[in-house]
Amino acid sequence: MSFPFLIFGGMNNNPKYILVTGGAGYIGSHTVVALSKRGYIPIIIDDFRNSNRDVLERISALVDQELIHFSISCQNKERLRGVFSQFPIWGIIHFAADKSVSESVENPLKYFDNNMGGLVSILELASEHEVNNFVFSSSCTVYGEPKKIPVDESFPVSHNSPYGYTKKVNEEMIEQFAASQSGFKSTLLRYFNPIGAHESGTLGEEPNGKPDNLLPYITQTAAGIREELTIFGDDYDTPDGTCIRDYIHVVDLAEAHVEAMNQLENPPTPIQVFNIGTGKGTSVLELVKYFEKNTGEKLKYKIGKRRKGDIPAIFANTEKAEKDLRWKSRLTVEDAVIDAWKFEQFIRNKRNRE
């Protein structure tokens, strides 16, 4: 069997194939670009339930390799098996999952089915094909409502929603699977709040319908698609009364996955857990102000009621990631709002042309 892409791989003479499930999604697409730039050969698996097929073209325009991609759901083991047989996969980054907290409260079975089922089937194939390097897309939601902040990786895990429950259980599933497989290594990355877009303005977050998350709602309001932003509560016990989150630029987050893959060559322990955030908290009102100041757009907003399930404040202790993963965020919230606004305009222009 020949592998036509082995001639690529930048600085690496023996490039490694990395299967990226959910590789056409928001974080997945940025990670595919970052992997490719660092000499890996990503293989995208996505069923496009929550992403657009034209993302593939836009990723291709940003990388020097011919893009390898398959339209397959993670639960379709037969078709996935074909991909595992076709390529000598070295590692897997598993993003593919449903991710709306509110939807998970209304439809928990969808989350149990896709988030648990998808992981089981990927791990089964990893075992069959002896793929021992696994990076998992987890979330700071596994800390529930922490008793103090910043949170570090030793804090107890809990959950506030069926979505959070799936992430917590997924982490445990990986730990128990690893204990049963000799040589299997995994890094669990607990993301804080990913925002922003690729600096080209051609990759970013494209929510289907009304956005759940703050920055896409802000950019859509500024673009005139939404009438106004509702800030969910200004009576929290925080300096300006609005909730505090740790907003991490998606390009920095993508880099964390590349570092995690590099480190899986020779990790200190089979399972590693890292917080991926900036270590800095930003309130909802501060994010609105950053947006207005850096884009020159005036945002229409009102203060509304608290959103059910929101915690007042959370941000990361990032010492472990800095020390053991040798990763640190580089970009700022200002960079993120500028890039997200650029992407919002790109999407509008694209839709207007279609």
| Number of residues binding to ligand UFG, judged by CB under 6 A | 19
Please give the residue whose beta carbon sits closest to ligand UFG in the complex: 243
Q: Which residues contact 112 (CB under 8 A, 6 or more apart)?
A: 162, 166
Q: Does 31 bind ligand UFG (CB under 6 A)?
A: no
Is residue 274 a contact partner of residue 190, using CB atoms and an 8 Å limit? yes
Site string for ligand UFG, 127-166 (x = CB under 6 A): ------------xxx-------------------------
- For ligand UFG, the binding residue among 60, 86, 158, 213 (CB under 6 A) is 213
User: What minimum distance in Å lies between the beta carbon of 139 and ligand UFG?
Assistant: 4
User: What minimum distance in Å lies between the beta carbon of 142 and ligand UFG?
Assistant: 9
User: What minimum distance in Å lies between the beta carbon of 138 and ligand UFG?
Assistant: 10
- In the block, residue with structure tokens 């982490």: 171
User: What minimum distance in Å lies between the beta carbon of 48 and ligand UFG?
Assistant: 20
Q: Which residues contact 176 (CB under 8 A, 6 or more apart)?
A: none
- For ligand UFG, the binding residue among 52, 230, 262, 345 (CB under 6 A) is 230
Q: Does 232 bind ligand UFG (CB under 6 A)?
A: yes
C-alpha to C-alpha distance for 258 and 18, rounded to whole angstroms = 10
The two three-digit tokens of residue 227, written as one number? 């009438």
User: What minimum distance in Å lies between the beta carbon of 136 and ligand UFG?
Assistant: 14
Q: Which of 40, 163, 165, 247 is catalytic?
A: 163
Window of 18-26, 85-93, 151-159, 209-217 that interacts with ligand UFG by CB under 6 A: 209-217
Can 163 be counted among the known catalytic residues?
yes
Nearest-Å Rg of the Cα atoms of the chain is: 20
Q: Does 99 bind ligand UFG (CB under 6 A)?
A: yes
Distance from chain centroid for Cα 343: 17
Burial annotation 141-170 (CB, 10 A radius, 16+ → b, else e): bbbbebeebbbebebebebbbbbbbbbbbb
Is residue 29 a contact partner of residue 55, using CB atoms and an 8 Å limit? yes
The two three-digit tokens of residue 262, written as one number? 């590099």
Site string for ligand UFG, 180-199 (x = CB under 6 A): -------------x------
Q: Closest Cα partner for 282 from 154, 102, 157, 149?
A: 149
**Known catalytic residues?**
163
Query: Given the rule CB under 6 A, which residues bind ligand UFG?
Result: 99, 101, 139-141, 193, 212-214, 217, 229-232, 243, 245, 284, 307, 310
